[in-house]
Amino acid sequence: GTQKGDTVKGINALKKYLHTLGYLSNHNHNHAADGDYFDENLESAVKTYQRNFNLNPTGHMDLKTVSMMGKPRCGVPDVINRTTRMQGGPAHYHTHYVFYPGRPKWPATKQIISYAFLPGTRTDVQEPVRQAFLTWSKYTPFSYEFVQDYDAADIKISFQRGDHGDGYPFGGPGPYNLLAHSFSPTDGRAHYDGDENWTVVAVPGAVDMQTVALHELGHVLGLAHSPVQAAIMYPLAGPRV
């Protein structure tokens, strides 16, 4: 596979992907001259990614790594402030819940958290999101209330396309596929890629709305990514339904 010292078309896209997910901290998207050169920083980033996903940390873009990076996933970084909570070997793998650094959370005094959809959001995808809130209400001390006033809601759910102004652009289906991202408490924003094929029933090749909503709400409530493959906070989406 591609490795340190190689110059290959497509390396710049890999750098952008790893930068978005927190693995590369100093990638300058505009510096195209060395954009496709596989340097030391990229090798280190690939190794960290490989450790997080239980792959052999060679630093090379071998088949297993390319395959893992090709899976649709959440666009929230795995590495935040140069800290990854995902790795650490088997001793850490019992935990399905991993918190953001500093453990930001909604105030305990807040019993009801309101949520709203951006006006114009497809009505069929709203029900799976409501079901996801219902599930989280069983495991959190809050109840969740749907409101019409988007601007006043604690949690704001919207479909966005491409570069939508928050520093985390979407790219639609294809390589390095980021489906959605959300912000930790008490920001409340949850963004889904409007160019993806979202479904509320099992359709081949589509993305299941309720599964992704469950995951994204975890972020909104203060949970980071988990290394446990069976956990709802595992960053990779399952195969497209």
Q: How would you write the chain as a 3-class SS string? A: CECCCCECCCHHHHHHHHHHCCCCCCCCCCCCCCCCECCHHHHHHHHHHHHHCCCCCCCCECHHHHHHHCCCEECCCCEECCEECCCCCHHHCCCCCEECCCCCCCCCCCCEEEEEECCCCCHHHHHHHHHHHHHHHCCCCCEEEECCCCCCCCEEEEEECCCCCCCCCCCCCCCCCEEEEECCCCCCEEEEECCCCEECCCCCCCEEHHHHHHHHHHHHCCEECCCCCCCCCCCECCCCC
Q: What is the CATH number of the domain that holds 212?
A: 3.40.390.10
Residue 216 lies in a domain: yes
Residue 203 lies in a domain: yes
Q: pLDDT: is 158 or 91 the higher one? A: 158
pLDDT of residue 121: 96
Residues marked as binding for Zn(2+)?
A: 74, 164, 166, 181, 191, 215, 219, 225, 233
pTM: 0.89
Where residue 25 falls among pLDDT bands split at 50, 70, 90?
confident
pLDDT of residue 228: 87
The active-site residue, picked from 40, 43, 145, 216, is: 216
Residues 137-160 have pLDDT tens digits of 999 999 999 999 999 999 999 999
Does residue 136 sit in the same domain as residue 199? yes
Is pLDDT at 29 greater than 70 in this prediction?
no
- Residue 114 has phi, psi (to 5 degrees) of -90, 150
Residues marked as binding?
A: 74, 154, 164, 166, 172, 178, 181, 191, 193, 196, 215, 219, 225, 233
Where residue 83 falls among pLDDT bands split at 50, 70, 90?
low
Q: pLDDT: is 175 or 105 the higher one? A: 105
Does residue 29 sit in the same domain as residue 110? no
Is pLDDT at 93 greater than 80 in this prediction?
no
Residues 166-213 have pLDDT tens digits of 989 999 888 899 999 999 999 999 999 999 999 998 788 889 999 999
Residues 32-59 have pLDDT tens digits of 556 899 999 999 999 999 999 999 999 9
Residue 177 lies in a domain: yes
Spatial distance between the Cα atoms of 152 and 34, rounded to a whole number of angstroms:
45
Q: Taking the CA of residue 238 as centre, how many other CA atoms within 13 Å lie in the half-sphere pointing to its CB?
A: 13
Residues marked as binding for Ca(2+)?
A: 154, 172, 178, 193, 196
Q: Which domain holds residue 122?
A: 98-224
pLDDT of residue 82: 65
Range of lowest pLDDT (10-19, 58-67, 99-108): 99-108
Where residue 87 falls among pLDDT bands split at 50, 70, 90?
low
Active site residue 127: no
Domain total for the chain? 2
Where residue 91 falls among pLDDT bands split at 50, 70, 90?
very low
Residue 52 lies in a domain: yes
Spatial distance between the Cα atoms of 208 and 202, rounded to a whole number of angstroms:
7
Does residue 51 sit in the same domain as residue 143? no
Mean per-residue pLDDT of the chain: 89
Does residue 122 sit in the same domain as residue 192? yes
pLDDT of residue 123: 94
Residue 54 lies in a domain: yes
Residues 62-72 have pLDDT tens digits of 999 999 999 99
